[in-house]
């Protein structure tokens, strides 16, 4: 009897199984459509597991199905809110779900406090998600209100860090520092909280303290081993070092950051390295930093999209500009300006990138104009096209500089980036004076006075003075002022500033003067491309040139002098012109040939003024 | 219709302001102006109006330029003073610099409107220059098309998409619209100039001739638009289909959807929204995703074409509205099921899906206005790792000889074989051989959308590419790869469809554009099925834009996400920057019709009020005025309005002679009221009513149809307004 019963049972079971299997085969959407037979809560539970398995799309589909079945399921709303917040970055939709979840939760269970552990956890999670969503939507006060509500009933390890961050965004630095310190004392997510505290202290001007805190954060993250994320505090400490003009230490921090497993995919240390190397005119190293980053990010195909593209193009464009590859620079900078940057993660405003790319693009356009102006081998038609191009470039450069200044004054708190080496900014400070030129002198003077009164960094003053001189450049007295500044620049660390000052000085000098010769040679040694980019002439000794050929070469980027380490020798053979450029001390040697003297000069310029 | 001088002035002022507004709007799209466009448009309009007024003063050129110079100097001085004051009295004077930056642009726009308008009124030739300038802008805009797609400014594309226009329709509409606007502008602007010449018989005749010419030109444009439109449609629909990147849509066996001459026409026009319902993290081509639509495996001696239905059974080859089902191909290794939904944004002849679709079913279209069709596909997608395929065998042992021969039929040109053998001489395994060929093309060929080879229908179209300048696009690369693979005995074919970059997807939603259409080579690997071996040329001469319109993607996602519809909008209150992209309002045809009807009704209502406002008056004086107005405006409606430089008395005389009676008897009373002390004039309502009714009786002798049309004609209201002034 009992056996018979078991047999019938097993028969029924097998038949059911067979039908089920059969159903699976017949229904190719089995995976999705079998969800029809599940309750909303079952689907929610499955979705939770799928999230843990890193299968967010599967989870999303289940949650949407759950909501179809039971729109009042607060858990599904909550999980979807979290999904759109963290996985998709669709904050507007995320907050809709989270608020709905909160409303449904409170309708069902009343107002807090709750005694049930699950309810407590869910409510706390909803509040956490709500505060994060609001933070991402820049509703800082809303985020703070939510955190206040959260703190009435709960405490989580993430709380101090988040609250400190929100308070920082609201400009309540002292309060934020207090909260972060309390958080560290209670052991709340030490790595993250220490990092936030370091940023807060740096913003407060307590840079030494901030460095100490960052070091603690680095040690903590390193101690976590493979799960640690030391690149972020390393990057931040590098930024503070650069801010206090300890460039070697900054370089060390960033190099260490990019060597970390979580750092090579992090664009900021690489970008910071490029800015630093450009400031020191170490363009080879700058290029290496970008190459290194790009070769690393290739490992993360899904992140190889838009997230960092604008930064990479900006960095590459600048390197190309400073090394004389103007067309390449224009291409990169155009991309940097066009690409929409995703800033959710790295806390840099879109305006910072806009200002930086606008200024660099304007500089590149002006450099292009100088290149076109000094091109000799042009047909009449090409000359007309070149003039048209130059007019367009000049207008665009003017417009971009104007827009950059406008963004700086209107959207970036009265040029908050004037604070030299502001960590949020991506400006190249050595040539920032070009953007400030359009501001009336008296206003700029007043603004810089205000900045200097609060900025005690000795090295920063050099930059401020340079901006003031550049703003009102023109008199002979400015030459002495510039000389004074040039002498005050530090070797290696301020090389780009020194070069910029030399170029400003050149603009005040007669091309035939001896001071011009010395200054131009100095500038050329620092960065060969700078001479052509700014439309100056390189002093050279000419050999074997007729007077007409001499006047032609002087129409380009060269000026004939009697004393220069550089000389150019002209060879003519069977209708071909060959120019040999050499430096008597440095072993530099370039050779260019052409069917006409003009084409030979153009070809030589391309070699002499690029790196 | 009697369009008066004042209406023309109004029209010209309005059109000039409109041109300025459009110009500023486009400029702001290209490069944000930083200053409110509305403020700029307002100031530009002010400049236009001010110059129109000023033109009546008949200022000389010297006086005009002095006026501008003085005003500019005054502004500059004001700036200097303001800066000095700000620096002296505030601690942060930067704000004044910021204000002046905005003001400078605003003043610049004001002067553009002002100077150009003054020149327009002052010098006849200005109109010619303006028309030339505007025409050149129109031509530049239209000449930027790619196979009748207008990509720039992007708003045209977006608008076409929102309105559900095909790109070529939008192209023709834009062209016709630009030229019609220019024509109307030229007509009104030039005819307006007769206003100062008096209404002589000669001028009236000239104006009639002018109107006739314009109407003929108008008709010619409409005629040519229709004819050109037809030609464009035919060329587009019959010859090219949805061709972009040289990849069109397959029609049936023996045909090829691929073009060899040019791949222009590759645009960002949205084609479909694909939504992954399941995670597909094992995609071997990450971040790229191939979606197959058709396969070309039959070599017809000239090129590869769609094979008869007994081949390429893995391709669904159905219309998007059909259902498809096949047995799961159990012989394939390394496969995972991936369910995905496709929402078509453009007409598509064939359904496409990821790799091997097992089932395709219709989905309820979530928004028929937006999506042309929708279906859900269940595919067996590959999970193999490309480097693990290195030693795989090619072909399928179950294939008959006939099938194998089909997939390995070679191009008779022996150079393909020679080159393939030469390239693969050091490779042992078949996949290595494939890779040497792919790598060769990657390194040596140049990707360009415009190879512009001479394509002779009787000759091999790939030959000028591979044995010529090696410049081509996906169609050339895929053909060359397949020919060389087949020369080595490797079963190969071309697949067409879409290739998209998953890194631009959001929440599993992928926005496919026309520029994602692609053709690629595939080889059959034992146990794995058809595997894409696509080329990625190192040298790229020209390529389509790769940026996905993230705003549009988000908007489309919103239309699919139930959360957007179900969840209350109040949830977004209190939040900053929670702009609702889904709420972008684009009027539908019905909306436009309703707006136009409403505007017409409003105008007719105003006219009705003017005709019958005397009913609401009590005092005889007011009644007289309103009655006079009612009669006068009825005359204007009927085309008996006062012309320019005509006095009221002359008007009355003219009307009286035309109608052989005097309907403006009331004018006598009104003039008395106007020029004498109204309190001393004794009037009775009955007397006024009698006069009005007599006048109207005279007019009622005219035919009913003429009176009815006159009443319904809303434009005569503008003449009323002018009379009011």
* Distance, C-alpha B144 to centroid of its chain: 13
Q: What is the pLDDT of residue A26?
A: 43
A91: closest chain B residue by CA: B578
Could you give the percent of chain B with pLDDT greater than 70? 82
The predicted structure's pLDDT at residue A306: 53
User: What is the rounded distance in angstroms from the CA atom of residue A133 to the CA atom of residue A352?
Assistant: 23
Q: What is the mean pLDDT of residues B564-571?
A: 60
pLDDT over 60 at A305, yes or no: no
Contact assignment for A403 to B92 by CB distance below 8 Å = no
B626–chain A nearest CA distance, Å:
55
Of A268-277, B62-71, B492-501, the poorest mean pLDDT is in B62-71
List pLDDT tens digits, range A507-523. Answer: 999 999 999 999 999 99
Q: For B90, which residue in chain A has the nearest alpha carbon? A: A446
Is A385 touching B (CB cutoff 8 A)?
no
Q: Is A28 a residue whose pLDDT tops 60?
A: no
- For residue A405, the model assigns a pLDDT of 93
A323 Cβ under 8 Å from any chain B Cβ? no
Q: How far is B309 from chain A (nearest CA, A)?
A: 23
pLDDT in tens, A534-569: 999 999 999 999 999 999 999 889 999 998 999 999
Across A272-283, average pLDDT: 94
pLDDT the model gives residue B223: 77
Size of interface A-B (CB pairs under 8 A): 155
Q: In Å, how far are A374, A403, A411, A610, B118 from B103, measured between CA atoms?
A: 37, 14, 17, 41, 22
Specify the pLDDT at position B417. 94
pLDDT at res. B670 = 78
With an 8 Å Cβ cutoff, are A31 and B91 in contact? no
Distance to chain A for B287, nearest Cα, Å: 6
> How high is the mean pLDDT of chain B?
80
Which of chain A's residues have a Cβ under 8 Å away from the Cβ of B503?
Answer: 301-306
Chain A, nearest residue to B501 by Cα? A305
pLDDT of residue B241: 46
Check: CB of residue B370 under 8 Å from CB of residue B552: no
pLDDT at A275: 93
Higher pLDDT, residue B196 or B29: B29
Provide the percentage of residues in chain A whose pLDDT is more than 90: 61
Any idea where the domains of chain A sit in the sequence?
6-30, 473-533, 537-611
Averaged pLDDT, B679-700:
79
Residue A463 has pLDDT above 90, yes or no: yes
pLDDT tens figures, A103-121: 999 999 999 889 999 999 9
Say yes or no to pLDDT of B452 above 70. yes
Record the pTM: 0.69
Task: For domain A537-611, give the CATH number.
Answer: 3.30.160.100
User: How many CB atoms neighbour CB A104 within 10 A?
Assistant: 19
pLDDT at B560: 78
* pLDDT at A344 exceeding the cut of 50: no
Q: Which helix (H) or strand (E) holds B70?
A: helix B61-89
The nearest CA of chain A is from the CA of B380 a distance in Å of 10
The Cα A10–Cα A14 span in angstroms is 6
Per-residue confidence band for A300, with pLDDT thresholds at 50, 70 and 90: low
Residue contact B287–A302, C-beta within 8 A: yes
| Contact call for residues B614 and B626 (beta carbons, < 8 A) | yes
**pLDDT in the model for residue A22:** 38
Confidence of residue A133 (pLDDT cuts 50, 70, 90): very high
Question: Residue B92 is nearest to which of A57, A304, A414, comparing CB atoms?
Answer: A414
Nearest to B277 among A61, A95, A138 (CB): A61
**Residue linked to tokens 């589909």:** A61
Pick from A279-288, A391-400, A539-548, B152-161: least confident: B152-161
pLDDT at res. B578: 42
Top mean pLDDT of B226-240, B498-512, B662-676 is at B498-512
DSSP label at residue B411 = P
What is the DSSP-derived secondary structure letter of residue B146? B
Q: Give the C-alpha separation, A463 to A451, whole Å.
A: 12
Q: Is the pLDDT of residue B375 over 70?
A: yes
Element containing residue B510 per DSSP (H, E): strand B509-513
pLDDT at B647: 76
pLDDT given for residue A605 in this prediction: 93
Q: Work out the pLDDT band at B3, boundaries 50, 70, 90.
A: very low
Which SS3 state, helix, strand or coil, does residue B353 take?
strand
Please report residues of B whose CB lies closer than 8 A to that of A57: 276-280, 507-508
Three-state SS at A53: coil
Q: Does B564 touch chain A (CB under 8 A)?
A: yes
For residue B602, give how far its alpha carbon lies from the nearest alpha carbon of chain A (Å).
40
DSSP H/E element including B529: strand B529-532
- pLDDT of the residue at B68: 87
| pLDDT over threshold 50, residue B582 | no
Q: A145-149, A372-376, B322-326, B647-651: which range is least confident on average?
A: B647-651
State yes or no: cis peptide before B153, omega within 30 of 0: yes
Looking at the predicted structure, is the pLDDT value of residue B14 above 80?
yes
Helices marked H in B613-680 — which ranges?
620-637, 648-659, 666-675
Give B233-276 as a DSSP string: HHIIIIIISS-BTTB----STT---B-SS--------EEEEEEE
What is the mean pLDDT of the segment spanning B659-679? 75
Helix axes B620-637 and B704-712, enclosed angle (nearest 10): 100
A window 393-412, beta carbon within 8 A of B: 399, 402-403, 405-407, 409-410
Q: What pLDDT is attached to residue A15?
A: 40
Q: Mean per-residue pLDDT for B42-47? A: 91
Tens digit of each residue's pLDDT (9 = 90 or more) over A227-254:
888 999 999 999 999 999 999 999 999 9
Calpha distance A468→A450 (Å, rounded):
13
What is the mean pLDDT of the segment spanning B625-634? Answer: 83
pLDDT tens digits for range B249-299: 777 788 888 888 766 655 667 889 999 988 888 888 887 899 999 999 999
For residue range B199-217, list pLDDT tens digits in order. 556 666 666 777 777 777 7
**Does pLDDT of A358 surpass 70?**
yes
Share of chain A above pLDDT 70, in %: 91
């Amino acid at each position: 009897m009992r056996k018979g019963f078991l047999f019938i049972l097993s028969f029924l079971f097998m038949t059911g199984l067979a039908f089920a299997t059969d159903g699976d085969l017949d229904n190719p959407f089995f995976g999705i459509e079998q969800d029809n037979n599940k309750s909303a809560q079952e689907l929610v539970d499955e979705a939770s597991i799928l999230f843990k398995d890193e299968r967010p799309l599967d989870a999303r589909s289940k949650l949407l199905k759950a909501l179809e079945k039971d729109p009042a399921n607060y858990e599904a709303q909550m999980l979807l809110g979290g999904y759109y917040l963290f996985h998709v970055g669709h904050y507007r939709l995320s907050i809709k779900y989270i608020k709905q979840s909160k409303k449904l939760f409170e309708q069902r269970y009343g107002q807090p406090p709750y005694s049930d552990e699950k309810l407590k956890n869910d409510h706390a999670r909803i509040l956490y998600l709500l505060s994060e969503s609001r933070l991402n939507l820049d509703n800082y006060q809303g985020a703070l209100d939510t955190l206040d509500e959260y703190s009435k009933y709960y405490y989580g390890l993430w709380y101090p860090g988040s609250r400190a961050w929100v308070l920082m965004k609201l400009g309540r630095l002292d309060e934020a520092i207090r909260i972060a310190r309390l958080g560290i004392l209670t052991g709340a997510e030490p790595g993250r909280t220490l990092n936030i505290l370091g940023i807060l202290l740096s913003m407060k001007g307590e840079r030494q303290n901030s460095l100490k805190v960052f070091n603690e954060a680095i040690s903590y993250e390193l101690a976590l081993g493979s799960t640690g994320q030391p690149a972020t505090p390393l990057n931040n400490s590098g930024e503070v070092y650069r801010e206090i003009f300890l460039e070697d230490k900054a370089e060390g921090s960033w190099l260490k950051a990019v060597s970390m497993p979580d750092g090579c995919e992090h664009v900021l240390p690489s970008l910071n390295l490029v800015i630093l190397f450009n400031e020191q005119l170490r363009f080879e190293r700058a290029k290496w930093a970008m190459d290194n980053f790009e070769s690393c990010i290739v490992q993360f195909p899904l992140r190889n999209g838009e997230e960092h593209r604008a930064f990479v193009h900006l960095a590459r464009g600048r390197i190309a500009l400073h090394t004389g590859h103007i067309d390449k620079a224009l291409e990169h900078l155009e991309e940097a300006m066009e690409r929409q940057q995703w800033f959710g993660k790295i806390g840099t405003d879109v305006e910072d990138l806009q200002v930086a790319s606008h200024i660099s693009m304007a500089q590149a356009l002006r450099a292009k104009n100088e290149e076109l102006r000094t091109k000799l081998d042009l047909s009449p038609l090409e000359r007309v096209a070149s003039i048209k191009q130059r007019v367009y470039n000049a207008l665009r450069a003017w417009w971009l500089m104007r827009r950059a200044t406008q963004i700086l004054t209107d959207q970036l708190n009265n040029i908050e980036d004037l604070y030299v080496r502001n960590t949020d900014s991506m400006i190249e400070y050595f040539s920032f004076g070009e953007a400030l030129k359009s501001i009336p002198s008296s206003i700029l003077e007043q603004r810089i006075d205000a900045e200097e009164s609060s900025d005690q960094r000795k090295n920063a003053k050099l930059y401020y003075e340079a901006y003031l001189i550049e703003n009102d450049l023109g008199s002979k007295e400015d030459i002495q002022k510039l000389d004074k500044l040039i002498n005050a620049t530090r070797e290696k660390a301020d090389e780009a500033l020194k070069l910029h000052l030399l170029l400003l000085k050149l603009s005040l000098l007669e091309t035939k003067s001896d001071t011009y010769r010395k200054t131009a040679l100095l500038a050329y040694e620092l960065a060969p491309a700078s001479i052509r980019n700014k439309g100056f002439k390189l002093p050279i000794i000419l050999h074997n040139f007729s007077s007409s050929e001499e006047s032609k070469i002087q129409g380009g980027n060269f000026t004939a002098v009697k004393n220069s380490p550089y000389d150019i020798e002209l060879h003519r053979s069977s209708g071909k012109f060959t120019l040999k450029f050499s430096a008597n001390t440095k072993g530099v040697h370039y050779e260019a040939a052409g069917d006409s003297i003009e084409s030979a000069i153009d070809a030589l310029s391309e070699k002499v003024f690029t790196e | 219709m009697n369009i008066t001088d004042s209406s023309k002035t109004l029209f010209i002022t309005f059109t000039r302001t409109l041109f300025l507004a459009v110009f500023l709007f486009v400029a702001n799209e290209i490069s944000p102006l930083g200053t409110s466009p509305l403020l700029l448009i307002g100031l530009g309009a002010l400049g236009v109006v001010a110059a129109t007024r000023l033109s009546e003063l008949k200022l000389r050129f010297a006086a005009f330029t002095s006026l501008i110079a003085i005003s500019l100097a005054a502004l500059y001085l004001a700036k200097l003073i303001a800066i000095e004051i700000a620096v002296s009295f505030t601690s942060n004077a930067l704000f004044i610099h910021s204000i002046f930056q905005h003001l400078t642009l605003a003043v610049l726009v004001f002067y553009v409107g002002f100077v150009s308008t003054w020149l327009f009124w002052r010098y006849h030739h200005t109109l010619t220059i303006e028309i030339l300038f505007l025409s050149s802008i129109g031509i530049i805009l239209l000449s930027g098309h790619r196979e009748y797609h207008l990509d720039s400014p992007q708003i045209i594309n977006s608008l076409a998409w929102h309105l559900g226009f095909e790109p070529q329709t939008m192209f023709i509409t834009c062209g016709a619209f630009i030229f019609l606007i220019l024509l109307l502008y030229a007509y009104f602007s030039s005819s307006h100039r007769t206003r100062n010449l008096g209404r002589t018989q000669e001028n009236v005749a000239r104006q009639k001739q002018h109107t006739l010419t314009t109407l003929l030109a108008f008709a010619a444009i409409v005629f040519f638009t229709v004819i050109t439109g037809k030609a464009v449609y035919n060329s587009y629909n019959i010859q090219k289909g949805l061709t972009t990147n040289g990849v069109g849509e397959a029609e049936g066996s023996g045909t090829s959807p691929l073009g060899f001459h040019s791949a222009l026409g590759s645009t960002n026009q949205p084609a479909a929204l694909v939504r992954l319902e399941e995670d597909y993290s094992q995609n071997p081509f990450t971040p790229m995703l191939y979606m197959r639509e058709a396969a070309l495996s039959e070599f017809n001696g000239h090129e590869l074409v769609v094979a008869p239905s007994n081949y390429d059974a893995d391709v669904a080859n159905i219309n998007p509205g059909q259902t498809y089902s096949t047995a799961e191909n159990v012989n394939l290794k390394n496969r995972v099921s991936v369910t995905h939904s496709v929402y078509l944004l453009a007409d598509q002849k064939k359904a496409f899906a990821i790799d091997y679709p097992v089932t395709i079913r219709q989905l309820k279209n979530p928004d028929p206005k937006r999506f042309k069709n929708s279906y859900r596909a269940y595919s067996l997608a590959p999970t193999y790792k490309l480097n693990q395929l290195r030693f795989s065998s090619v072909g399928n042992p179950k294939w008959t000889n006939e099938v194998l021969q089909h997939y390995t039929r070679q191009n008779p040109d022996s150079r393909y074989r020679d080159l393939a053998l030469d390239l693969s001489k050091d490779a042992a395994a078949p996949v290595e051989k494939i890779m040497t060929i792919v790598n060769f093309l990657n390194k040596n060929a140049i990707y360009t959308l415009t190879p512009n080879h001479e394509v002779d229908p009787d000759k091999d179209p790939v030959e000028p590419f591979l044995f010529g300048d090696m410049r081509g696009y996906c169609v050339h690369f895929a053909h060359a790869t397949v020919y060389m693979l087949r020369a080595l005995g490797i079963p190969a074919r071309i697949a067409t469809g879409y290739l998209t970059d998953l890194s631009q997807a959001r929440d599993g939603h992928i926005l496919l554009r026309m520029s994602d259409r692609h053709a690629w080579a595939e080889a059959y690997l034992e146990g794995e099925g058809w595997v894409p071996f696509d080329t990625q040329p190192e040298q790229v001469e020209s390529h389509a834009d790769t940026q996905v319109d993230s705003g549009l993607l988000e908007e489309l996602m919103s239309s699919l996400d139930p959360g957007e519809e179900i969840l209350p909008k109040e949830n977004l209150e209190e939040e900053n920057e929670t702009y609702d992209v889904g709420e972008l309002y684009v009027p539908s045809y019905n909306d436009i019709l309703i707006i136009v009807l409403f505007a017409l009704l409003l105008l007719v209502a105003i006219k009705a009020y003017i005709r019958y406002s005397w009913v609401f008056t009590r005092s005889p004086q007011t009644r007289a005025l309103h009655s006079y107005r009612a009669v006068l405006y009825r005359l204007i409606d009927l085309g008996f309005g006062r012309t320019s430089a005509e006095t009221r008395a002359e008007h009355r005389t003219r009307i009286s002679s035309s109608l052989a009676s005097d309907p403006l008897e009331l004018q006598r009373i009104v003039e008395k009221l106007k020029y004498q002390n109204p309190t001393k004039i004794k009037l009775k309502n009955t007397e006024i009513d009698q006069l009005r009714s007599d006048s109207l009786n005279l007019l009622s002798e005219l035919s009913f149809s003429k009176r009815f049309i006159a009443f319904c004609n809303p434009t005569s209201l503008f003449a009323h307004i002018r009379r009011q002034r």
